[in-house]
Homo-oligomer: A and B are copies of this chain.
Amino acid sequence: MTVEVHDSEVDIVIAALQPNLTPFFQAWQPFFSRFHVIVVKDPELAADLQIPSGFDVKVYTKSDIDGLLGATSINFSGHSCRYFGYLVSRKKYVISIDDNCLPAKDPAGMTVDAVTQHMVNLKTPATPFFFNTLYDPYRKGADFVRGYPFSLREGVECMLSCGLWLHNADYDPMTHVVKRNQRNTNYVDAVMTVPLGAMLPVSGINVAFNREVLGPVMFPGLRIRKEGSHRWDTLEDIWNGLCAKVVCDSLGYGMKTGLPYVMRSDAEAGKALESLKDWEGVKLMDDVLPFFQSVKLSRNGVTVDGCVKELAGIVREKLAPKNPIFAKAADAMEEWTKLWKSHGAQSA
């Protein structure tokens, strides 16, 4: 399906965790150049950023974050800095891609336009109530299979699109260490709606969402103790995705996963081994997932903001007693709804 994508409705948000963004911007030039790009520099990063000319870029640094927000309990360092970009964007949609990712090639050798694919995912309906075995029914050449109720064929609005990665897959540090030579080469040519009630690990590597609607739930909430600037050190995006899925399920919105792919650069398995000795993430998800699988939001939370506030309260009640990390997550979630109200909830 073809959709129209206007420059005025999309911001690209890039978290700069390394100073030299020249190869990144050069590679993405054909797809990014017509859009406004928000670069948020990791507050921990000292060196000056290198960004080539020819882009409509605005860079935000630690002083912008401190200046706008003042004292806040939310930690925007490392990968979490991109969320500041979500707050200062004024567009309906945001697309965010990690700075160690380049455009992928599809099996036919064509370079993948990740921007357009994300926008197709967001602008065509999602179908969370019944699984279509031929995947996205709105795709050219596809349709709803036999048995799909006609009353459900209009679908619902898609609010988040979770893209994937070739080459260096998005693994935890253990898997990186154990499978140090494994690379993801399997290009699966499909987009699908994640069914109602099913949870998925949304990765922040390559993601897009409807910022106007979903903004209040796009926060860095869960921060593990020794979080660094490697993806394998983070669970912030996984937590964020689970919160967003619960809210979407509650409000009748859809979430998709699959295309577009990006090409991730090599992992440094040696560094993953270093991370392991402090890594809390191993056992954390054994508490987190059952919580999200069973949580039910009341019918009163009819806005995303309302859902997040309710969810933060349930996190504090059910999860915080198990680990103080969850109390901090609940704090961050509540803080985010305030930040969003004062700084984020504005459109162009």
Contact = CB atoms under 8 A, between A and B. Distances in A.
Interface of A: 107, 129-135, 139, 141-152, 162, 164, 169-172, 175, 179, 182-190, 194-203, 231-232, 235, 238, 257, 281-283, 285-286, 288-289, 293
9 contacts: A107-B107, A130-B289, A133-B164, A141-B186, A147-B238, A149-B285, A152-B289, A188-B189, A197-B197
Given A188-B188, A198-B131, A203 B238 contact: no
A162 B293 CA distance: 25
Contacts of A202: 133
**3 closest A-B pairs (Cβ-Cβ)?**
A195-B198, A147-B201, A147-B238
Give the interface SS of chain A, mostly helix, strand, loop or mixed.
Answer: loop
Given A188-B189, A190-B190, A197-B195, A175 B144 contact: yes
B175 A131 contact: no
B184 A186 contact: no
B169 A199 contact: no
Contact of A170 (B146, B232, B235): B146
Given A141-B185, A171-B145, A201 B130 contact: yes
Given A188-B189, A194-B131, A201 B146 contact: yes
A39 to B, nearest CB: 24
A94 to B, nearest CB: 20
Contacts of A179: 143
A255 B186 CA distance: 22
Given A145-B170, A146-B201, A147-B285, 4 more contacts: A132-B201, A143-B175, A147-B238, A188-B189
A230 to B, nearest CB: 11
Contacts of A107: 107
A162 B132 CA distance: 12
Contact of A289 (B142, B149, B164): B149
A133 B189 contact: no
Given A231-B146, A293-B129, A134 B184 contact: yes
A65 to B, nearest CB: 26
Nearest to A174: B150
Nearest to A233: B146
A288 B135 CA distance: 21
A179 B145 CA distance: 12
A201 to B, nearest CB: 3
A133 B148 contact: no
Contacts of A201: 130-133, 145-148
Contacts of A190: 186, 188, 190
A282 B141 contact: no
A143 B201 CA distance: 13
A148 B198 contact: no
Given A141-B182, A142-B186, A189-B188, A133 B147 contact: no
B203 A133 contact: yes
A187 B194 CA distance: 20
Contacts of A188: 135, 188-190
